[in-house]
Structure 1
Amino acid sequence: MSLPDLPFGRRIALARQRRGLSRRALGELVGRSAEWIRQVERGDRMVDRLSVLLRLATVLQVADVPAFVNGAVGRPVTLPRAPLDMTALRDAVFTLPATLLRRAGPPAAASGRTDPPLDPPAADSPADLPTDPPAGAPDRVDEEVTWLWAGWQSSAEPYTRTLGRLPAVLRAVSAATGEAAADAYRLACQLAGRAGDGTLALAAAQHAMAAARRGACACTAAAAIGAYADSLAHLGALSSAEAACGTALATADDCACAARPAVVGRLHLAAARVASAGHAADAARRWLSGAAAYAREGLPDDPRHPFGAQDVAVQAVRVALRLGHLPDALQLADRIDPESVPARARRSRGYLTLAGVHARARNAAATLLALGKAEQACAEELRVNRVARQAITDLLSRDDALVRVDAWALAARAGLA
């Protein structure tokens, strides 16, 4: 009998055992009891809430989520998709750079396609971003990449703003330095990952690593490998992600640039994420401790490599949740202070982490408050970020009378109701 032919509860049991999770651990990760998991696996209880099915699929690293959901409910289910047109970015990432085309055959111009020149970027509000690229950038494309990274952290519309500009930059980076190209593709990887497109994120990370070999410093190469490790972890390839983290850290050892402490600190956070996904609690805590040590160095603000104590605090909560340690996650959440982060998009993502931990604790009022704060900081995160959409879906599934009206209003603004 093939796996799809097995009863739904039996498939849950096999997937749980493959991940090495006890029923209690799986129950904590999805907000249910060990007895509830036992009843589902025995076929004595149906899973009739979409939010719970999606959480089970995420924790158990299910490859085909629609088939998993449809197999549970016995009827077709259309999963909500982020309202984001990724076509231009996808085309830019999956098109070979002009330098590779010239090596492989006819010049790129032979195709009849010419990319438009880069126009001056439209400025956001002065309260959000500097209107001009930083002085002293080596070339125009490098200025563009720095401008895009700054907007990704601080803009009121980070996804719209980045998607409107990044594809043209990606088409231009083949003639730029390896530094600019690697960081541009790494930004594409982050955007695709947060929007839930793991395949596009992985492809962008691979381009970033290839570009870093064209004259970038070792820290830029290490950051690109770290993005690749993150993408592998999101897709469930944990052993490969762990190996990539080790390679990235070894690569960064060869660099003495100013960005190195932030790059290495972020790599420690990535390694903690991979360890927690594999339920290696001790290793995850060691990586977090190492990241905290780098955060205490008082690092300069670098839009391409943002890193600080709040990033460590946020990742500590996420690690505790992945390990199924909800009481620890709630205690660690007290260390998160999103208001101390001046960049509005990053501040919003901090509040989303708080929303996630309160949703897991089934505290509807606290979840709604955190989501509201996230919306105030950057409303676009609620419409696009997969973590935000999951938290809102969970909030609606609770149907708590205290927050029902406000929860549905928030869901409507996020495009989920």
Structure 2
Amino acid sequence: MTSSDAAPDPLTEPLAFGQRMQILRERRGISRPVLGGLLGKSPSWVKQVETGKLQLPKLPMILRIAEVLRVRDLAELTGDQSMSVAMFIGPGHAKLPAVRDAINRFPLPGDREAPSLPHLRARLDRAWQARHSAPNHREVIGALLPDLILDAHLATRQAQTSEQRRRAQSLLAETYALSQFFLAYQPDSSLLWRVADRGMVAAQESEDPHAIGTAAWLLTQAHRDAGPRDFDAADEVNRAAVDYLRPLLPDADDRVLAIAGALDFELGYTAARRGASGTAWAHWDDAHDKAVRLPPGYYHAVTSFGPAIMGAHAVTVAVELHAGGESVRQAARADAAVIPSHPRRARHRIEEARGYQLDGQPDVALATLEKANAAAPDTIRYNGYARRIILEESEAKSPARRRRAASLATKAGLLAA
């Protein structure tokens, strides 16, 4: 290919919508048949849009295309800067600079005396509890993270024995896990990757199966959220962790069993993103088999895995497979009230809303998003799927639905650029 044949950059050159769509599709490694299937359209429809033979799609379809292509800003797809709305990246939190500084800083052993490992363990437990119980969870953990990151680093550097160092590395890996929840969907993807990588290194240094499984769970999500080209990398990390934990499961404690179940589900989640229905549900079954072996009220602090979450996971699989009817059926079976975590409950409500919209029930979708906002405004504010539904319904033909969407957007700050 000569330089004159190279595809132009949709962010720097004035291109038609279809040209931008084709370039972004190819950058994500998605074929026309796959994109068409995810949109409920034929490959020829995709080709006609890309070549300009069809008119610009209406806003609801533009938003669905943006969702499938994981467009970070709607203007990347439309070329219209007046439509500059963040899709999968939320606003930068006020505490992001302090957390970034703590992550980028490498304290020396003599900076100050590290707290004891039991003290660090207790602080992490309180931080996870605060994350699950606070509707404004990013505000809460953003305030705790800078000191936790510093002290966890100091603990690893000042450890006196190899056993102490391994325990400290496990706590550091868990601190990075908490950091990843704070950083998710914020405008600093390089920092998120730094945290995911460092968490995996610390976990492996700890030689703790639970820490290793948790770090792999988070790294899998980072790869998958990067788009279809990274699905293979997500599966590679995921399967390696599953294989590593498998021989340990007969004698595993609840934490290790839970992280193994969470990893099984992640394989199913990625398969659903690929459109592989049978594989996705088979991995959900594997995860369910582990969930029922856990105590009835068990709830894993990092992954939220446990018996109560499997209904929510079933909704997610159905939604990612774009099966509207099945999504609604699974939503009817799932009981969000048993999910103790405010942010995880809100995330489940958002998945339900996606299912209702897929099933042609936009009013129910908006009502479900209102429940998500009541559970944890901090979750809905940063969620690209919620943002897409709100944007779409703000252009609905029904005046009542438009008003409801506008009211929810105002409450949750979903339209903030």
User: Same fold judged by TM-score > 0.5?
Assistant: yes
CA distance in 2, matches of 1:187, 1:164: 12
> 1:185 is matched with which residue?
176
Could you tell me which residue of structure 2 aligns to residue 231 of structure 1? 222
Letter matched to residue 313 of structure 1: G
Residues 330-341 of structure 1: pairs in structure 2 closer than 5 A: 330-341=328-339
Distance 1:387 1:74 in 2: 21
Q: 1:55 to 1:189 in 2, by over 3 A?
A: farther
Give the aligned partner of residue 295 of structure 1. 291
Inter-partner Cα distance in structure 1 for 2:192 and 2:389: 22
Change (3 A) 1:151 1:52: farther
Q: Hey, what's the Cα distance between the residues in 2 that align with 1:353 and 1:94?
A: 34
In the superposition, relative to structure 1, how do residues 245 and 71 fare at CA in structure 2: closer, same or farther (>3 Å)? closer
Distance 2:359 2:351 in 1: 13
Amino acid in structure 1 at the alignment position of 2:91 = A
Distance 1:52 1:172, change over 3 A: farther
Is 1:375 paired with 2:373?
yes
- Amino-acid identity (%): 22
Match of 2:199 in 1: 208
> Deviation per CA, 1:281-309, whole angstroms, max 9, x where unpaired?
32222111101111112333342342124
User: Is 2:197 the partner of 1:199?
Assistant: no
Partner Cα distance (2:64, 2:237) in 1:
27
Please tell me whether the aligned partners of residues 16 and 26 of structure 1 are also in contact (alpha carbons under 8 angstroms).
no
Q: CA deviation at 1:61?
A: 4.4
User: Is 1:150 matched up with 2:129?
Assistant: yes
Q: Separation in 2 of the partners of 1:15 and 1:194? A: 20
In the superposition, relative to structure 1, how do residues 221 and 416 fare at CA in structure 2: closer, same or farther (>3 Å)? Answer: closer
Distance 1:306 1:200 in 2: 23
| TM-superposed deviation, 1:234 | 0.4
Indicate the residue corresponding to 2:400 in structure 1. 402
User: Aligned partners of 1:7 and 1:278: how far apart in 2?
Assistant: 28
Residue of structure 2 equivalent to 1:283: 279
The one-letter code sitting in structure 2 at the alignment partner of 1:57 is A
Can you give the 5+ residue segments of structure 1 that lack an aligned partner in the other structure? 119-136
CA-atom RMSD, angstroms? 3.0
| Contact 2:353 2:368 survives alignment (8 Å) | yes
Bigger mean CA offset, 203-212 vs 305-314: 305-314
Query: How many Å apart are 1:277 and its aligned residue?
Result: 2.3
* Structure 2 residue corresponding to 1:88, chosen from 98, 112, 130: 98
CA distance in 2, matches of 1:70, 1:258: 45
Structure 1 distance, partners of 2:404, 2:81, is 30
Inter-partner Cα distance in structure 1 for 2:324 and 2:8? 32
Query: SS of the residue aligned with 1:304?
Result: coil
> What displacement does 1:408 show?
1.4
Gaps of 5+ in 2: 10-14, 156-167
Deviations 1:236-256 (A, max 9, x none): 211111100011112323643
Amino acid at match of 1:407: A
Question: What is the distance in 2 between the residues matched to 1:310 and 1:198?
Answer: 31
Q: Deviations over 1:183-209 (max 9, x none)?
A: 110121123225475433322111111
Alpha-carbon distance in 1 for matches of 2:122, 2:207? 16
Q: Does 1:45 align with 2:52?
A: no
Letter in 2 for 1:266: A
Structure 2 equivalent of residue 386 of structure 1: 384
**Contact 2:380–2:414, Cα closer than 8 Å, also in 1:** no
In structure 2, which of residues 114, 120, 131 is the aligned counterpart of residue 141 of structure 1?
Answer: 120
How far apart in 1 are the matches of 2:143 and 2:66? 32
In structure 1, the partner of 2:239 is: 246
**Partners of 2:277 and 2:236 in 1: CA distance:** 18
